[in-house]
């Protein structure tokens, strides 16, 4: 595929999602909160301090004002959509992935805002492992809970002090599925497509299929919640090139933000 063909392919894919570039408008126009690629988002430190002091894994950001480098739109087989304003894309396994995620309902109302940062990522090593994290056989992703163990975070490089703050006297953290009820032994993961644009013309970016399930736990203050978003991401094309395919399982930590206390410039 030539570069010109790749660009045309990417524009066609973006057009299917209603965010394609044209001669009159940029691909990142008319987004909620007036966000755009190159714009700035400023967050308040208070919710991060509160969460961290109550045992959250999600850390206090080094910078509270960050530039938007990409914008993703996730459409699921359900009402509404997710919008992701990326600070870091995390395309490589050793790169950070951080974004602010907004849930927008069918009439355009923003009802949820989350700060999301990647905890870890791995590539499924077998068809059985892939099926489990896609919930393909009625088990795995979509079960009532997901457990993270102390030794797993130790293997990710967390210090003894950090582990003590997160786990206290326990050796595991249990996140409960954030949809349905505990009596349901399995709920199929949400399935959707993310189109991410990396420039205002919509010529750079990626398209990926997503199998997604939210989990949540209540922290020590019995009020603050930390979310764990687990997804199997199947990259179908990058920069319009369908040969750039990949698959990985993402573990994103989430913390709810107050929309009124976030500024976008």
Quick check: 255 and 56 in contact, CB under 8 A? yes
**Residue 20 in this model has a pLDDT that exceeds 70:** no
Quick check: 240 and 14 in contact, CB under 8 A? no
**Residue 15 in this model has a pLDDT that exceeds 70:** no
**Residue 17 in this model has a pLDDT that exceeds 70:** no
- The confidence score (pLDDT) of residue 155 equals 97
**DSSP for residue 89:** E
**Residue 93 in this model has a pLDDT that exceeds 80:** no
**Residue 1 in this model has a pLDDT that exceeds 60:** no
Which residues make beta-bridge pairs with 259? none
**DSSP for residue 241:** B
Least confident of 48-62, 86-100, 141-155: 86-100
Three-class SS of residue 3? helix
Q: What percent of the chain stands above pLDDT 90?
A: 80
> Tokens standing for 173?
């953290």
């Amino acid at each position: 595929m030539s570069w010109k063909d790749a660009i045309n392919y990417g524009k066609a894919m973006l057009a299917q999602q209603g965010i394609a570039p044209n001669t009159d408008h940029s691909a990142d126009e008319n987004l909620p909160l007036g966000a755009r690629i190159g714009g700035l988002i400023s967050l308040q430190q208070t919710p991060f301090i509160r969460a961290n002091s109550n045992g959250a894994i999600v850390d206090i950001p080094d910078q509270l004002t960050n530039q938007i480098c990409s914008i993703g739109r996730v459409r699921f087989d359900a009402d509404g959509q997710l919008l992701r304003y990326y600070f870091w894309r995390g395309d490589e396994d050793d790169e950070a992935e951080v974004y602010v995620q907004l849930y927008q309902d069918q009439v355009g109302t923003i009802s949820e805002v989350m700060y999301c940062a990647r905890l870890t990522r791995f590539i499924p090593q077998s068809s059985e492992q892939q099926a489990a994290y896609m919930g393909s056989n009625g088990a795995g992703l979509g079960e009532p809970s997901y457990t993270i163990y102390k030794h797993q975070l130790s293997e990710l490089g967390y210090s003894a002090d950090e582990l003590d703050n997160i786990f206290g006297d326990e050796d595991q953290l249990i996140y409960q599925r954030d949809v349905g009820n505990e009596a349901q032994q399995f709920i199929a993961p949400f399935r959707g497509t993310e189109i991410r644009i990396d420039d205002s013309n919509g010529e750079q970016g990626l398209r990926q299929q997503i199998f997604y399930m939210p989990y949540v736990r209540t922290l020590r203050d019995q009020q603050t919640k930390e979310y764990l978003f687990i997804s199997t991401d199947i990259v179908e094309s990058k920069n319009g090139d369908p040969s750039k395919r990949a698959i990985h399982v993402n573990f994103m930590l989430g913390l709810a933000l107050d929309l009124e206390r976030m500024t976008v410039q």
